[in-house]
Amino acid sequence: MTANWAGRAATVVLAGATSVALLAGPALAAGPVVGAPTAGDPYFPLQGNGGYDVGHYGLTLDYRPGSGQLTGMATIDATATQSLRRFDLDLRRTMTVSSVTVDGRRAAFAQPADLRQELVITPAAPLAKGAGFTVVVRYSGMPRPVTDPDGSIEGWVPTEDGAFVVNEPQGSPSWYPCNDTPRDKAGFDITMTVPDGVTAVANGVLVDTVTAGGRTTYRWSQPRPMSTYLAFVTTGVFRISTGTTPAGIPYLNAVDPSQAAKSRPVLAKLPAMFDFFQSLYGKYPWNSGGALVDNAPEVGYALETVTRPEFDRAPDELTLAHEIAHQWVGDDVTLARWRDIWINEGFAEWSSWYWSEHTGQATAQQIFQRLYATPAKDTGFWNPPPGNPGSAADLFAGSIYDRGAMTLQALRVEIGDDSAFLGLLHDWVQAHRYGNATVDDFVTFTEKRFPQLDLAHFFSVWLYQPGKPTGW
């Protein structure tokens, strides 16, 4: 993610952030249990669920931009990790569920008001631990944007010609039922029907389009494991262009006509960016690349949606580089908990600095030095330290980006050997492909690799010490 305004104000406090009770009791004599209604992340305690692991989402959607009506069918393939008599999906109550089946049999379900985004499902028969099962949820409603603890909006954001859909960190259940934790990665096939003249763009490759009766259906496929917050299907009037990078990565760009002229010179650099970050981090993890540029300035940020980052307006060059780098750092290697946001943002921001250096613009060290000149008394610039934002309201604070990227640049200088530093980043990504990682995982990974350096002190200063880092 990259904010398009200076200093996202932390004005809203998440109420009751620590008060969600675990409903899952101890198993009675190893009988089937109730899956937990949370994945246990204190920043977003309603997110995610326990008792199963999703392998694939098939979303069949129909959107009418005029009325704002979304109708959906979600087919979710999962494996039970506990013996379950009941389990939850995450879905906001603005979406009304009309039926649920589990393995083809009608299941009881509820959307309790006090649980806010839980779809509680009781299958006709308990699910055995280790068994694969398929849930089909039919639902409809008028999805509304979600407001985050930092005051920003996400989820399903209606535009003049469709909807701009971005989900980090908690927008997904506003438009599809899911196990909304970054740790439950799955493949996605998204099918969207819209009125003729409107285009639907989602993750992955466009499999086909079918037009009938004044409406067109777009089928998109992205089979690799990705986190739920990185799924999207954005609709509107778009100019589509396709190509293949010199290194062989296919890409598809979708650009709102109002942003076409301003986007053109920046998007001309997109193929070289994909190839550059592939040379840095290793083989491109997804089946397509590209970018989507919409006209949705009320959103105020860009997001690294898998395969095809989304921009609420024509991006500048370093924002485009940041979001493309995220395809490896953030999307392939993903934070394990939200407090680990540095694993995503510090790395993507540093990557954009390295692109600047690579293309003969300011070097990463020059950018570091310019930012390091910020006085210590400017505490809003230096805090919170990037290793621990402290609360969901500070998840995307400027320091997570600026000081977060400075941490990696300072590490580069500390290591002193560029090939050793770049090898560290490459091997970090390769060691966590399609996985999740914590800040501590990176610290441990690095300390093991450079035992001769006093990195415990270095990391404690840069990642955790409040205020301007000194004496590392």
Q: Which residues are at the interface with Zn ion (CB under 5 A)?
A: 1, 345, 348
Query: 208 forms bridges with which residues in the sheet?
Result: 219
Q: How far is the CB of 253 from Zn ion (least distance, A)?
A: 19
The smaller minimum CB distance to Zn ion, of residues 150 and 345, is found at 345
Q: How far is the CB of 4 from Zn ion (least distance, A)?
A: 12
The smaller minimum CB distance to Zn ion, of residues 107 and 318, is found at 318
The smaller minimum CB distance to Zn ion, of residues 301 and 421, is found at 301
Q: In which element (H, E) is residue 154 found? A: strand 153-158
Q: How far apart are CA 419 and CA 193, in angstroms?
A: 49
CA distances from 254 to 171, 308, 326, 336 (A): 22, 9, 19, 31
Q: How far is the CB of 194 from Zn ion (least distance, A)?
A: 28
The smaller minimum CB distance to Zn ion, of residues 148 and 345, is found at 345
Written as six digits, the tokens of 405 are 């990227």
Q: How far is the CB of 219 from Zn ion (least distance, A)?
A: 28
Q: How far is the CB of 229 from Zn ion (least distance, A)?
A: 12
In whole angstroms, how large is the CA radius of gyration of the chain? Answer: 22
The smaller minimum CB distance to Zn ion, of residues 1 and 198, is found at 1
The smaller minimum CB distance to Zn ion, of residues 184 and 345, is found at 345
| Neighbouring residues of 63: CB distance < 8 A, sequence distance ≥ 6 | 69, 70, 71, 162, 163, 192, 193, 194, 200, 235
Q: How far is the CB of 169 from Zn ion (least distance, A)?
A: 12
| Neighbouring residues of 462: CB distance < 8 A, sequence distance ≥ 6 | 385, 386, 387, 403, 406, 407, 410, 411, 469, 472
Q: How far is the CB of 286 from Zn ion (least distance, A)?
A: 17
Written as six digits, the tokens of 4 are 């398009």
The smaller minimum CB distance to Zn ion, of residues 224 and 322, is found at 322
Written as six digits, the tokens of 214 are 């004044």
CA-based max dimension of the chain: 69
DSSP assigned state of 51: S
Q: How far apart are CA 61 and CA 95, in angstroms?
A: 13
